[in-house]
Chains A and B, each alone.
Chain A
Amino acid sequence: MEGHKPHIVDYATQVKVWVALVVLTLVTVATAEVDFAMLTVAVALTIASVKSVLVLLYFMHLKFESRILNIFVIVVMLVFLAMIVFTFFDYIFRLSHGS
């Protein structure tokens, strides 16, 4: 991954990724009509996450970038996730204590 020669991503790979992204979009629109009760949000966010990983890896070339850049991206995602999880801890805790 450390190579200084730029990695050329071929056209076919990127078109395949695009097809996958469009299919996932149609899947998420179709599943929105189905009621998964508590899981509705989870299903939508899981599909969105899969789509964003495809964009990050192939369109944004992270798959072919240096390891340090990949680590940076993962750390930022974890910080963001922690921000959401801890804020929700607070709200759910307050809710369960009725205030």
Chain B
Amino acid sequence: MSTNSSAGVHTHRDDEAQKMGMWFFLFTELLLFGGLFLVYSIYRFKNPEAFAHGAKELNVVLGTINTIVLLTSSLTVALSITAIQKGQKKLALGLVLFTILCALLFLVNKYFEWGHKFEIGIYPGSELLRAIPPGEALFFVLYYFMTGLHAIHVIVGAIILAFMARYIHTGFINSDYFVLLENGALYWHLVDLIWIFLFPLLYLIH
């Protein structure tokens, strides 16, 4: 708590507590995806061949590119915090905008990836999924659900980062008050963390 005597107003601020609140929210997100990872692991344990066969259908090249896109975006949003702390406003803004660009690139790649799967008849409820062994169909349903829920998080993250960019532009986020940017970045890193596990589990293990 501190008093801002020059403006004559009493301000109450606790950056530590704000960050802790954000972390608590991230824990609930972790357990949400954690539950899905558990479902995936159990069904994989029960249908090893079907899951391995299904995983071969996924595009490893697009998956790898998207992994690197997300890792890079995580770096740029982390760098933007350093920039704002050092008072380099323009650099911070540029880095956040670049992060949003990476989020869009990730979604475009996902669009092509999913689009191709739809073309060859692999989508929830399709004739093909009803014809193939149930274990394999289960893999694709989990693939769509997990990457889909992750993609929703990418969209939400991009929207949050757009607000951050606006706040940096208006000076609401500055070298003295940047906990909002830190929390926005924490959300974005969570999106990256989840992908770090989704990528090997879905695309690589076969």
Q: Which residues of B contact A87 (CB under 8 A)?
A: 38, 42
Among the stretches B108-116, B121-129, B145-153, B192-200, the one at the interface with A is B192-200
A84 touches B38 (CB 8 A): yes
A90 to chain B minimum Cβ distance, whole angstroms, is 9
B205 touches A80 (CB 8 A): no
A10 touches B82 (CB 8 A): yes
- In the bound complex, how far is the Cα of B16 from the Cα of A91, in angstroms? 42
Q: Is B62 positioned at the interface, with any CB of A under 8 Å from its CB? A: no
Chain B interface: which size bin? 35 or more
Q: How many positions in chain A have a CB within 8 Å of any CB in the partner chain?
A: 43
Q: Knowing A44-B200, A69-B23 touch, does A9 contact B67 (C-beta < 8 A)?
A: no
Among the stretches B70-78, B131-139, B164-172, the one at the interface with A is B70-78
B59-87 residues with Cβ-Cβ distance < 8 A to A are 60, 64, 67-68, 71-72, 74-75, 78-79, 81-82, 85-86
Count the A-B residue pairs with Cβ separation under 8 angstroms: how many?
108
Among the stretches B4-12, B26-34, B155-163, the one at the interface with A is B26-34
Q: Which residues of A contact B81 (CB under 8 A)?
A: 9
B64 touches A44 (CB 8 A): no
- In the bound complex, how far is the Cα of B21 from the Cα of A72, in angstroms? 12
B200 touches A55 (CB 8 A): no
- In the bound complex, how far is the Cα of B51 from the Cα of A8, in angstroms? 45
- Pick the residue among A29, A41, A83 that contacts B60 (CB under 8 A): A29
Q: Which residues of A contact B68 (CB under 8 A)?
A: 22, 25
- Pick the residue among B23, B34, B60 that contacts A73 (CB under 8 A): B23
A22 touches B71 (CB 8 A): yes
B83 to chain A minimum Cβ distance, whole angstroms, is 8
Q: Is A56 positioned at the interface, with any CB of B under 8 Å from its CB? A: yes
A66 touches B16 (CB 8 A): yes
Q: Is B105 positioned at the interface, with any CB of A under 8 Å from its CB? A: no
Q: Which residues of B contact A40 (CB under 8 A)?
A: 205
Q: Knowing A32-B205, A44-B201 touch, does A55 contact B60 (C-beta < 8 A)?
A: no
B196 touches A14 (CB 8 A): no
- Pick the residue among A17, A44, A73, A80 that contacts B75 (CB under 8 A): A17
Residue positions of B touching A, CB distance < 8 A: 16, 19-20, 23-24, 27, 30-31, 34, 37-38, 41-42, 45-46, 60, 64, 67-68, 71-72, 74-75, 78-79, 81-82, 85-86, 178, 182, 185-186, 189, 192-193, 196-197, 199-201, 204-206
Could you name 19 residue pairs across A and B whose Cβ atoms are closer than 8 Å?
A11-B82, A25-B67, A32-B200, A40-B205, A44-B205, A47-B200, A48-B196, A52-B197, A55-B74, A55-B196, A59-B78, A60-B185, A72-B23, A72-B24, A76-B30, A83-B38, A84-B37, A87-B38, A88-B45
